[in-house]
Structure 1
Amino acid sequence: MDIAISSSGVEVSQKLEEVTRTKVAKLDRYLSGIDRAEVRFSEERNPRIAEPLNCEVTLEGHGYHIRGGGHGVTAQAALDGAIDKLERQLRKEKTRRVNRQHNAGERRAG
């Protein structure tokens, strides 16, 4: 999987980059065929926002695009929120694909 990390107004340290690559690479276990992942860190400049750091992760592959975002006080917390959302979406997509395959035989027989 090709993982691209970018940022706007946020310093992405070497450790954050390693953690990001590790966590995003683990998403492949939910749904195979993920070709590309784009991770973008940004910061809101409004002082009223309690969780100013944002992380958006976009996964692409085999006809689907799945996007999840998270907010947090730290970049690590924002990444965790985005990963949690993506895991839910990937589980749902995999369940939908498996059910479609299992139910296809019933439709033909009936």
Structure 2
Amino acid sequence: MEHLQREAVRYRSIEQRMDETGETQVSLSDPDARSMATTARMPRIVGYNVQTAVEADNYLIFAHEVTVLGFDRDALSMMAVAAQEEMTTDQLTAIADKGYYKGEEIVAS
């Protein structure tokens, strides 16, 4: 019974913190992780998604972003713009795998 009472206190404190901060999710194993929509086969995963823009000749990371988007389709233009801002060239060619394919993102990048 003591264990259950301690757990109840712990969960109430988590609930209070969520009420105070407006958070709608809490990961007890990783405070930055959130439930992300991914694919139809695996509709939810708790974690985060890291996007990087890498310069192809020297493999230098020019930009990165940690998101809770479970898929990459909406990240191409965001990362292309971030890379463009960091690089000293007016010409940028973005190369990505098919997971980034979305017509609007391709046009925007």
TM-score, normalising length from structure 2? Answer: 0.29
- Of Structure 1 and Structure 2, the greater helix share is in 1
Structure of larger gyration radius: 2
Normalization by structure 1: what TM-score?
Answer: 0.29
